[in-house]
Each structure stands twice: as C-alpha cells, then as structure tokens.
Amino acid sequence: MSKIPKIKKAQSVNRSRRLRKNATDAERLLWRHLRGKNMAGVKFRRQQPLGNYIVDFISLSHRLVIELDGGHHALQKEKDALRERFIEQEGYRILRFWNNEVLQNLEGVLEVIRRAIVKDVDE
C-alpha cells in the first residue's frame, strides 16, 4: 500500500469524518445493512481513506470497495476512471451503484454485494 505523508493523512481523516456526518440518503440506507458485520459476517468501513482517495465503503478482509454515485459522476468519468485504476492496482474489486438504485432497489443491490462476497470466499 502506498505511503501518505502525515499531513495529507490527517486531512484525509478529517475529510472522511465530514463525509460520514453528511452522508447521502443512499449511503445511510446501505450503511444500515453493512455495519456491524450484518452483510454475511463481513466487516465494512465507511468513508475510508485509500491512498489519495476516500472510498464510500470498504471491506479490507475481502478487498472489496463499494462506491455509490450521484448524478455528478456522469460528468467526471475521466476522474472516476483514474480513481478506479488506482483502487484496482491496490488489489481491490469495485462494485459501483447509482444512489437511486440503492433507494429504489435495495434488495437487488444487497444481493449483488452478497454474491461478490460469496464469490470471494469460493475462490
């Protein structure tokens, strides 16, 4: 994993805290199902610094990142591609969902996450 200077790491931690306090409705809803090892006994963290980025949800043990996207992500595809490349280079798989997908089809989203965890265990 890449080394981050202490000053930048402190800024990342402070930004993570702000993001947790200002979570979207979709993030709060999904977090209720991921927290406390509710998802197949897997521990997830939310708004976790990873390199120069902050990921929405992460399972360190399963090397799985879950990203929730709002409408602004449609306008920043290039930035998202760079971010995804970095996360994958760090050895993580990424599941990406739109906020409205979480709000309107929560069970479907949870099933995709469950399958990714089971697939990881089976491999």
Third-level CATH fold of 6-122:
Endonuclease; Chain A (3.40.960)
Is the pLDDT assigned to residue 3 strictly greater than 60? no
Which pLDDT value is given to residue 17?
60
Average pLDDT of the residues of the chain: 84
Question: What's the pLDDT score for residue 79?
Answer: 83
Domain ranges of the chain: 6-122
**DSSP per-residue string spanning 20-73:** HHT--HHHHHHHHHHGGGTBTTB--EEEEEETTEEEEEEETTTTEEEEEE-GGG
Encode pLDDT of 41-100 as tens digits.
Answer: 999 999 998 888 889 999 999 999 999 988 655 557 788 889 999 999 999 999 999 999
Spatial separation of the C-alpha atoms in residues 58 and 66, rounded to whole Å: 6
